[in-house]
Amino acid sequence: MASLKEIKTRIGSTKKTKQITKAMEMVSAAKLNRAQGKAEAFQPYTNKIREVVASIAEGTEGVSHPMLENRAEVKKTGYIVITSDRGLCGAYNSGLLRQTAKLINERHSSPDEYGIVALGRIGRDFFKKRNMPIFQEIIGLPDRPDYNDIKNIAQTTVQMFVDGVFDEVYIHFNHFVSAISQEVTEQKVLPLTGLAEDVKADGDTKVGKLDYLYEPDADSILEQLLPHYAESLIFGALLDAKASEFGARMSAMRSATDNADNLIGDLTLVYNRARQAAITQEINEIVGGAAAQS
């Protein structure tokens, strides 16, 4: 059994750990509020581009673009996987990576059939350890990312689809549901099919009937807008994932704080019992000594 000094030392170290986890919980809560606000503020921008693209694609006769069409044969699939750079966020990374690896193993029989774009150190290390093909990677993204932070990797990924390196591109990330809930999500980024249905699902039933004026022409507008729209999907998913990360980290630190409280309570009880036993033993020894002298 541990001595009173050892128990007291452990209580002290647990209290210090609790102070750290409590502080980390509060920091994560503040970051969550900012990240959630930024993700919500960006969504109307993506929605408007999608609305314009859908209007052109569905409402203009003779207009088409390779980014809007499924390819006859899918030889290689790209997966953009967004994880965090650091741990201490519960199952935020493990659940996502487990699901991604499962889908890849089910869909592909060879590493030649897919490629990975890793956003985040945890995901990069996971795929590298398993010798899975990483085409691009980026680590060290700030807690409040701007588009310029991922501009190059987003543009390059879209260009790889245009050039035929990938025949389809998916993005895997944790979708923010609430501060205590995240949902592993797969979103198809390219090709950009079903845009009109997506707009209607958001409540707009006028797709194809909106009176837009195009200058110089609809084909030129599509040529410019489609890559921007695909890139906005990637950036929007990153903002969503950041909000999920801070929510997961806040919940993990709250659980750690609660566990520290419970451990302190248990250790305090053990300490009090051991102290009481030591006092009782000391009294018995005094009484025994006095009895021997009488």
| Cβ-proximal residues to 148 (8 Å cutoff; 6+ apart), any chain | none
Query: ∠210-216-222 over CA atoms, to 5°?
Result: 60
Token pair listed for 36: 């959630």
* 168 touches 80 (CB < 8 A): no
| Cβ-proximal residues to 239 (8 Å cutoff; 6+ apart), any chain | 35, 38, 39, 42, 145
Residue 116, beta-bridge partner list: 79, 134
Helix (H, G, I), strand (E, B) or coil at 181: strand
Question: Catalytic site residue 106?
Answer: no
Residue 69 DSSP label: S
CA dist., res. 284 & res. 288, Å (int): 6
Q: How many residues are recorded in the chain?
A: 294
Token pair listed for 198: 């997506």
Catalytic residue among 11, 89, 222, 243: 89
Query: Element (H or E) spanning 191, and its range?
Result: none
Query: Element (H or E) spanning 87, and its range?
Result: none
Give the residue numbers marked as catalytic.
89
